[in-house]
């Protein structure tokens, strides 16, 4: 008799910065995959927030600058693969925060038209392995954003997904407002700050994210020193 996998409600893993990422629909067979997924998106997240400074290797023949670009591309590819696997339609497993990390940065900088163009190109690529789903960033991000009110997610994830939902509608200014609200409640959220700065640059309001970055840094320091009462 074939053994059936027991589906767990959800499990929280922590990214490189110590922020929680919720995986739901975990089974004995996919728990290991969730750990690999976290490692993959961590690598890309570091590339995003450092603007590629953590990436190196590959494309040596084309020079140092291309090596970094090549490494970022490889990192993004892995992140998108795991994001796709964990956020497929009609499955019990999901990890919507993976879509925020993998898709929100390109939406913040280039908008939905560019993402949909990339999806058109991706439709014509061969899957990594037989039966592996084709990567479609826009659809995957939409499914992730639709889970923004899920009770098993934490407040930080909900706000990130709300911002993602606005980015999917090219409402960058509203997405920025959500991220700045997130930075007030979660000082030190490096991903939120990186996205906010990218969006601020896109809409021509560079001072906004920098202003909140300084504000949150001071508030965080004040909390640590207990010099202010909150």
Please tell me the predicted confidence (pLDDT) of residue 110. 95
Please tell me the predicted confidence (pLDDT) of residue 124. 87
Count other C-beta atoms under 10 Å from residue 67's C-beta.
Answer: 17
**CA nearest neighbour of 47 among 58, 56, 38:** 56
pLDDT of residue 228 exceeding 60: no
Span 23-45, average pLDDT: 86
According to DSSP, the β-strands at 10-14 and 20-24 are: antiparallel
pLDDT of residue 148 exceeding 60: yes
More confident residue, 223 or 185: 185
pLDDT of residue 166 exceeding 70: yes
Please tell me the predicted confidence (pLDDT) of residue 128. 67
pLDDT band at 213 (very low <50, low <70, confident <90, very high): low
Please tell me the predicted confidence (pLDDT) of residue 1. 35
Percent of the chain at pLDDT > 90 equals 50
Please tell me the predicted confidence (pLDDT) of residue 31. 79
- Cβ atoms of 109 and 119 within 8 Å: the answer is no
pLDDT of residue 218 exceeding 60: no
pLDDT of residue 5 exceeding 70: no
Please tell me the predicted confidence (pLDDT) of residue 50. 83
**CA nearest neighbour of 109 among 172, 53, 162:** 172
Please tell me the predicted confidence (pLDDT) of residue 70. 65
Rounded to whole angstroms, how far apart are CA atoms 146 and 47? 26
From 41-55, 71-85, 106-120, 138-152, the region with the lowest mean pLDDT: 41-55
More confident residue, 163 or 17: 163
Rounded to whole angstroms, how far apart are CA atoms 138 and 188? 28
More confident residue, 213 or 148: 148
**CA nearest neighbour of 25 among 100, 98, 91, 97:** 91
Please tell me the predicted confidence (pLDDT) of residue 32. 79
Span 185-214, average pLDDT: 82
More confident residue, 24 or 129: 24
Please tell me the predicted confidence (pLDDT) of residue 181. 92
Query: How is the chain split into domains, by residue range?
Result: 10-223
Please tell me the predicted confidence (pLDDT) of residue 187. 80
Backbone angles phi, psi at 147, to 5 degrees: -95, 15
């Amino acid at each position: 008799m074939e053994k059936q996998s027991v589906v767990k409600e959800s499990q929280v893993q922590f990214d490189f910065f110590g922020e929680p990422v919720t995986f739901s629909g975990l089974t004995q067979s996919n728990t290991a995959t969730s750990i690999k997924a976290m490692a993959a998106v961590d690598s890309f997240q570091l590339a995003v927030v450092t603007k590629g400074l953590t990436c190196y290797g590959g494309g040596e023949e084309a020079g140092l600058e291309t090596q970094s670009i090549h490494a970022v591309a490889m990192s993004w590819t892995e992140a998108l693969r795991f994001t796709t696997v964990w956020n497929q339609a009609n499955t019990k497993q999901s990890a919507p925060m993976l879509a925020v990390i993998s898709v929100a940065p390109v939406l913040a900088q280039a908008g939905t038209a560019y993402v949909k163009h990339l999806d058109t190109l991706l439709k014509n690529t061969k899957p990594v392995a037989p039966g592996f789903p084709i990567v479609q960033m826009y659809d995957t991000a939409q499914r992730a954003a639709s889970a923004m009110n899920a009770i098993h997610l934490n407040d930080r994830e909900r706000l990130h997904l709300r911002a993602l939902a606005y980015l999917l509608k090219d409402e960058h200014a509203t997405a920025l407002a959500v991220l700045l609200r997130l930075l007030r409640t979660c000082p030190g959220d490096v991903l939120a700050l990186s996205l906010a700065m990218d969006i601020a640059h896109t809409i021509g309001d560079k001072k906004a994210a920098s202003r909140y970055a300084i504000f949150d840094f001071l508030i965080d320091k004040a909390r640590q020193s207990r010099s202010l009462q909150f």
